[in-house]
Amino acid sequence: MTTKVVFFTGGVLSSVGKGVTAAAIGRLLKARGFTITIQKLDPYLNVDPGTLSPYQHGEVFVLDDGSETDLDLGHYERMCDLRLNKNSTVTTGQVYQEVLDRERRGDYLGGTIQVIPHITNEIKRRIALVGKSTNAEIALVEVGGTVGDIEGQPFLEAIREMRNELGRNNTAFVHLTWLPYLKATGELKTKPTQHSVRELRSIGIFPDMIIARSDYPVEMELCTKIAQFCDVPREAVIPLVTSNLLYQIPLILEDMHVAEILLSRLDLAPKQAPDLDAWRWMVNELEREKPKVRIGLVGKYVELHDAYISVREALRHAALYAGVDVEIEWISATDLEKGIGLERLEQVDGIVVPGGFGSRGVEGKIIAAKYAREHQVPYLGLCLGMQVMVIEYARNVLGMEDANSPEFDQRTRHPVIDLMAEQRGLEDKGGTMRLGLYPCVVQPGTLAARLYQTERIEERHRHRYEVNNAYRQALEEHGLIMSGLSPDGILVEMAEVRDHPFMIGCQFHPEFLSRPTSPHPLFSGFIKAVCQRRKLSVAVQLPENLSGKED
For residue 464, the minimal CB distance to ligand GLN (Å) is: 4
- As measured in angstroms, the least distance from the Cβ of 105 to ligand GLN is 34
Q: Which of 491, 505, 471, 494 is nearest to 395 (CA)?
A: 471
Three-class secondary structure of residue 335 per DSSP: helix
Cα–Cα distance, 139 to 395 (Å, whole number): 52
Instruction: Tell me the residue nearest to ligand GLN as measured from the CB.
Output: 355
3-state secondary structure 45-69: CCCCHHHCCHHHHCCCEECCCCCEE
C-alpha dihedral sign at 405, 411, 412, 415: positive
Least Å distance between CB 169 and ligand GLN?
45
Least spacing, CB of residue 467 vs ligand GLN, in Å: 10
Element (H, E) at 130: helix 120-134
Q: Report DSSP letters for 464-516, one per residue.
A: SEEE-GGGHHHHHHTTEEEEEE-TTS-SEEEEEETTSSSEEEESS-GGGG-BT
Residue 42 C-beta: closest distance to ligand GLN, Å: 21
Q: Which is nearer to ligand GLN, 249 or 394 (CB)?
A: 394
Q: What angle do CA 549, 82, 350 make, to 5 degrees?
A: 65
Residues present in the chain in total: 551
For helices 18-31 and 258-265, angle between their N-to-C axes, nearest 10 degrees:
80
Parallel, antiparallel or unpaired: strands 68-69 and 61-62: antiparallel
Choose among 67, 72, 142, 50: nearest CA to 437: 67
149 exposed, middle or buried (CB, 10 Å; 0-12, 13-18, 19+)?
Answer: middle
- Least distance to ligand GLN from the beta carbon of 89, Å? 18
Alpha-carbon span 374 to 165, nearest angstrom: 65
Residues carrying an active site annotation: 383, 509, 511
Closest to ligand GLN by CB, 361 vs 521, is 361
Q: Which amino acid is at 443?
A: Q
Binding site for ligand GLN (CB under 6 A): 355-357, 383-384, 387, 407, 462-465
